Structure 1
């Protein structure tokens, strides 16, 4: 139990009707979860407006309502608080309710189009190897010390974030590494959190279904760095032109990393093979099991964060060399017939281009590169023809198929992809709506030493069709098919 006035500390309030000196049991923004003496926060959403459920929440026992617009009829005995921004109010209230857990550990947020999951997971694993108690909030999973919880969003809602951070406090966690999505920033889910550092990986075409323009997408990411405290660091990739934009107005310590530009942390790729990377990081050589130039950036960001937290250089390099790839990120295996199958989460044009260029850099050119790729439904449609063009240009054969069609017709999604294929690449592409059949066809095409890339879903173990998540694991499927098809 906690006093409402204490939960509202630092919230921007326009008006109050009722008594804020009342004990609160819990906070909810879903009216279905409200029970006696809870606070209901009415969140205006794109599909559902929480203000429409204020009456239901009060009937369920809510003692207070936080909203952006007071209802026409106020119920006696209920406290109504009108706020500037309900999303931000919820985030600040969540921090207060859980006793501001982010202040009791070193929280680092990682944002960017690609690399968030890899960087946060590698940081979690490196600091764990260094002997620290560590937390992780990622797209793939949530880790509180050694205990794993399932992840539901790239950046969870603010109540969930603070709940996990409080669990981390209870477990004595010292560092937490967290993915920060543009949706999470825009919806104020990270408001009220105290960050010790922020990392910017890169920015490319994604989420334009939500942000409408690239400038809006970029500026949303920038807000995260604008709000970092003076005590934090802002580590940015300056090989990406948006890196310098991110830190224009930050109060945090500005730090840079790059492979091609002048930066505080520099890396050079000495060797790039399917077995790993040999890197020169700030004049020190280190071998990594990870593959590709995009992972050179990820590893350099991890090294920089470790150094900023004053982990020893020799120890950090040793831990870097021991790190393994993250599930669904350039995860590969080689069949008995010497066919290499690679599964990667690449679901943006830039990520797909990076993976294909990495494979083409490593391969001799005598092998065929067969790419299976789709695009998600109910998401940014403008990237569909772009991704198809990249796949058909950089592959020997491109098979267009379903990703997570969600509520869209998968055939229409594929048709929008096909529109991006240039005439000289028509004969290199085929379309197969059924994803398993598409992967099976790739396996049938492949011969010894060929490479199959299955892009888009990576770590996901399901395929979402019309609101139903059906079991589907790209890596598991291609392993089984390569064994059975090639018998």
Structure 2
């Protein structure tokens, strides 16, 4: 492909060499470089791609895109200096794959909680409506019936555009994707033509990366700031930051809510383990999902479908048939008559939502036993808060390992323990081994009690010292609850 065409829309500070040349692949990973490729040198959180420019030259790349030009300029290589290499990569990826996002309806969902469930609901809904549909999510990527492994909440710019091109070529009409704050801030979605964007909510998370809550909010808002006029912006009016997302947003504004005034109003009539009774724009409907947080997730799916032109009764009929995403308030059937739940709740807000939901629907004689952990190498400030929330809303808490990564699991538990008051401490246990912690929690739970295993949800691994070991909370529960 012609390099000059790939650079269309990229703001170039300086060019050395002739850009009217044919190139092969775009690469930002130096290990994948081959002769004739374009190497985009990005400044990452762990490594700086500029350090690998000599390697790229040695592998006979045709061009290098970078923020800082090297001291030694190799002959026969085109150098393009840009302000932001990550943003340039996003724009170049769109050009390289011939702007696949323009060939389908692309809707992004961002927020601290609810992203995976809402995009999964939308994917399932539109497939039930008869459309070829795509999904880009934390759990899995899908092109209609085809499943493709997902490694991040939001992939890199090349992965996203390649998947979207495959979708468009296979006749996909709608694609629903999660947009994480990291991906937005790192410009992985730069250049994509969105037809809509959704804000679910925002709470304490990822401050290890964003440093301040204000920066975290700004990262989410970047998605709405780049929306085109033909798109829609749908935000949660019950979250006080919802309307912030709409400031200086060129798209058409819409809101949804369960409590306040909005364009798509609804209310919960009854909440039970069997499901939700809701009234949506005056129409009563029963859903199989549980909890107020799922009421909001359902309203996202409803609002987006309405804005994409689907009739109200069609939406409500098909939504009422759907289940939630794997690992999101997932009930694990068992012969012991215990209510066993696996949930991805790994932030204070998400954990509180899940436990409040359980509190609201449990019977007076049902105990809540919660298994809770916190990840290593991530925001440490939420650890004591997570422990305090678990103890506040549970009868017994087993604190354990999540994904310790390179941290000492015992230190993570010590950080969590700091959040427990004197009155909370007697109800909390610490067991480093996660399987043993789940087994112990099951032993503490009597018949009909509620056992919540929180933090990992859909994940089928546990990362310890950089190695991922197979571990699935749902599988462990099914093994134990016999």
What's the TM-score once normalised by structure 2's chain length?
0.99
Give the equivalent residue in structure 2 for 1:247.
246
Report the CA distance between 1:64 and its aligned residue.
0.3
Give the equivalent residue in structure 1 for 2:82.
83
Give the equivalent residue in structure 2 for 1:466.
465
1:276 and 2:275 matched? yes
Give the equivalent residue in structure 2 for 1:260.
259
1:443 and 2:442 matched? yes
Unaligned runs of 5+ in 1: none
The RMSD of aligned alpha carbons is 0.6
Structure-to-structure mapping, 1:385-464, within 5 angstroms: 385-464=384-463
Aligned mates of 1:168, 1:443 — CA distance in 2: 44
Deviation by residue 1:83-111 (Cα, 9 ceiling, x = unmatched): 01000000000000000000110100000
Report the CA distance between 1:285 and its aligned residue.
1.1
Contact (CA 8 Å) 2:332, 2:477: kept in 1 or not?
Answer: no
Report the CA distance between 1:335 and its aligned residue.
2.5
SS of the residue aligned with 1:408?
A: coil
SS of the residue aligned with 1:40?
A: strand
Deviation by residue 1:134-156 (Cα, 9 ceiling, x = unmatched): 00000000001211100011110
Aligned mates of 1:128, 1:56 — CA distance in 2: 46
Aligned mates of 1:310, 1:279 — CA distance in 2: 22
Report the CA distance between 1:45 and its aligned residue.
1.0
Contact (CA 8 Å) 1:145, 1:171: kept in 2 or not?
Answer: no
Aligned mates of 1:113, 1:294 — CA distance in 2: 12
Aligned mates of 1:316, 1:190 — CA distance in 2: 29
SS of the residue aligned with 1:374?
A: strand
Aligned mates of 2:448, 2:333 — CA distance in 1: 9
Contact (CA 8 Å) 2:266, 2:278: kept in 1 or not?
Answer: yes
SS of the residue aligned with 1:71?
A: coil
SS of the residue aligned with 1:103?
A: helix
Aligned mates of 1:366, 1:322 — CA distance in 2: 31
Give the equivalent residue in structure 1 for 2:345.
346
Deviation by residue 1:417-465 (Cα, 9 ceiling, x = unmatched): 0000111111111110000010000111111111100000000011000
Give the equivalent residue in structure 2 for 1:228.
227
Report the CA distance between 1:334 and its aligned residue.
4.0
Deviation by residue 1:333-352 (Cα, 9 ceiling, x = unmatched): 34322111100000000000
Aligned mates of 1:218, 1:398 — CA distance in 2: 31
Structure-to-structure mapping, 1:349-364, within 5 angstroms: 349-364=348-363
Give the equivalent residue in structure 1 for 2:369.
370
Give the equivalent residue in structure 2 for 1:292.
291
Structure-to-structure mapping, 1:172-183, within 5 angstroms: 172-183=171-182
Aligned mates of 2:260, 2:42 — CA distance in 1: 43
Give the equivalent residue in structure 2 for 1:379.
378
Contact (CA 8 Å) 1:68, 1:83: kept in 2 or not?
Answer: yes
Give the equivalent residue in structure 1 for 2:300.
301
Give the equivalent residue in structure 2 for 1:117.
116
Aligned mates of 1:256, 1:164 — CA distance in 2: 30
Contact (CA 8 Å) 2:120, 2:324: kept in 1 or not?
Answer: no
1:204 and 2:203 matched? yes
Give the equivalent residue in structure 2 for 1:194.
193
Contact (CA 8 Å) 1:101, 1:169: kept in 2 or not?
Answer: yes
Contact (CA 8 Å) 2:41, 2:66: kept in 1 or not?
Answer: yes
Contact (CA 8 Å) 1:32, 1:57: kept in 2 or not?
Answer: no
Contact (CA 8 Å) 2:126, 2:133: kept in 1 or not?
Answer: yes
Aligned mates of 1:162, 1:113 — CA distance in 2: 24
1:34 and 2:33 matched? yes
Aligned mates of 2:478, 2:333 — CA distance in 1: 9
Aligned mates of 1:333, 1:440 — CA distance in 2: 15
Report the CA distance between 1:305 and its aligned residue.
0.4
SS of the residue aligned with 1:217?
A: helix
Aligned mates of 1:192, 1:111 — CA distance in 2: 17
Contact (CA 8 Å) 1:402, 1:434: kept in 2 or not?
Answer: yes
Aligned mates of 2:445, 2:254 — CA distance in 1: 45
Aligned mates of 2:199, 2:263 — CA distance in 1: 14
Report the CA distance between 1:365 and its aligned residue.
2.2
Contact (CA 8 Å) 2:107, 2:197: kept in 1 or not?
Answer: yes
Aligned mates of 1:96, 1:338 — CA distance in 2: 56
Structure 1 runs (4+) greater than 6 angstroms displaced: none
Structure-to-structure mapping, 1:12-31, within 5 angstroms: 12-31=11-30
SS of the residue aligned with 1:359?
A: helix
Aligned mates of 1:61, 1:295 — CA distance in 2: 52
Give the equivalent residue in structure 2 for 1:101.
100
